[in-house]
Amino acid sequence: MVCVLAGALLPQRAVAQAPNIVELSQAAASGSSWQTPLRFQGEKPQDEVSLRVGTSAFYDDNVLARNDLRLSDEALAIDSRLGVVLHSEHSLINFDYTPFFVLYRQFDRYDRLNHAANVSFKYALTRRLILGLRDSFSYQNGAYPTLAGSVEMSGLTSPAGLNRLLFPYTTRTLSNAAGLDLTFVQSAHTAVIVFGGYNTTHFESEVAGHPLYNGDGGSGGVTLQYRFNQFTNLGATAMYQDTVYHGGYSVDNHMRSQIESVLFSAGARLAPTLTVVLFGGPQHFQSIGEMLPGMSTSGRYTAAWGVSLTKQFHATALTGSLQRSVADGGGLFPSIVDTSANFAARRRLTGRWEVDVHAGLGRADTSLLLPVGDRTQTFDGGITFTRPMVRDSVLHLAYESTHQLTQGTLPMGFNFDRNQVTIGFDFGLSTLLSEK
């Protein structure tokens, strides 16, 4: 599905010239969970090799993310980040690795090393043929939606990725999404992308009666991109997804979810700093096997649609999206109908301060699987203030709030409210490489 946005936002000269591979850096292919940072007007990515080490103290008022067993505690987070961005005329490499510890004062169940890594590689095999490889990996103890430093982005998330607005009770999560895409630049106006990928997500839970659904599957498809004029791009994507879910209410249950999608998109640059993307189309869903009695369907049609907008100013950058599609259930369910709205803003303040705000609303329902579907509504939002200090150090102050309400057959333990307050310092050593 992300290929739809790629088709709409593909930079104009990338299609026309092909050999300058860096022009394709914002055209994320389906299956990648790489997120594009929100930038100010005129702010451009640079080649960079960076190493950052940080430490934070924070207060968590619901460590287990469970209202029926609420536990608050203070903690120390120690994290580091290695980032590499390199490009040449024919290649582009993005690499990001973040290991981090979270050490609670009283609660030591999650005192383990966590990992998050992303890698994306593109190479121009010829003037018209571009190869892309990608992989995203995460190994996390507990549920920490903010500590790994994720960035908000408008538009559909990866069909192979974990649903970011659903938070299951879990003691450990392992997820990996890998893929390959091949772009053929047919002419100055037309390009074709063939893509495929494989993903796996596994949860561990120590609470009886709380089902979590593990998933393994793949996706593949083709995208046609057409540059209508200098300011408008059109795209069409046909995609097939096949995922096997297991676990849940019975470890012996298995259900196979198959989704065929045909999505169309239109992207327009209405001004030098204003971009709008529209997409929509039919999706066909069917399941094989049952996770619960009656929890299956021979085949149903639904509609996917969405709109996203990005606006840049000299001291402010804004992005927002509204969308609906069949998506992964994030461990709480197998496949769901996911409706979500996301907003993010970044602004420079006085005294070298900068503020980042983000908010997301989500609604997930199982109406495609059950006559009377379960429903989960979530909200996740936060604000972060940062200020550069001496010797490449940065002070950050943050507040994050998460709320989740579930109706239906799920246990009430999936309903929770959680707040986190953080203060910390990051110390970085960066080497900017001169652009050619």
Which residues face 245 on adjacent strands?
215, 255
Q: What is the mean pLDDT of residues 235-259?
A: 80
Answer with the residue of higher pLDDT: 394 or 369: 394
Q: How confident is the model at residue 196, as a pLDDT?
A: 92
CATH of the domain at 181: 2.40.160
Answer with the residue of higher pLDDT: 64 or 36: 64
Angle of CA points 367, 138, 321, to nearest 5°: 50
* Extended strands (E) in 293-415: 300-312, 316-328, 335-348, 354-365, 375-388, 393-407
Q: How confident is the model at residue 396, as a pLDDT?
A: 92
pLDDT category at 111 given cuts 50, 70, 90 is confident
Total domain count, the chain: 1
Return the SS3 of 7. Answer: helix
pLDDT at 264 over 80: yes
pLDDT in tens, 188-239: 889 999 999 998 988 887 665 566 888 899 999 999 988 887 788 899 999 9
Q: How confident is the model at residue 236, as a pLDDT?
A: 92
Distance of CA 39 to the CA centre of its chain: 17
Q: What is the mean pLDDT of residues 100-119?
A: 86
Contact 154, 279 (CB under 8 A): no
Q: How confident is the model at residue 37, as a pLDDT?
A: 62
CA–CA separation, 120 vs 28, rounded Å? 9
CB atoms within 10 A of CB 326: 22
pLDDT at 154 over 70: no
Contact 71, 103 (CB under 8 A): no
CA–CA separation, 293 vs 291, rounded Å? 7
* The token pair that represents 33 in the structure block: 């969970």
What is the number of residues in the chain? 436
Q: Which of 83-87, 149-153, 290-294, 431-435 has the lowest mean pLDDT?
A: 149-153
- Residues near 391 by beta carbon (within 8 Å), at least 6 away in sequence: 427
**Which DSSP symbol is given to 22?**
G
Q: How confident is the model at residue 26, as a pLDDT?
A: 31
CA count, 13 A, side-chain hemisphere, 252: 0
pLDDT at 431 over 60: no
Q: What is the pTM of this model?
A: 0.79
pLDDT category at 336 given cuts 50, 70, 90 is confident
**Full domain range(s) for residue 21:** 2-432
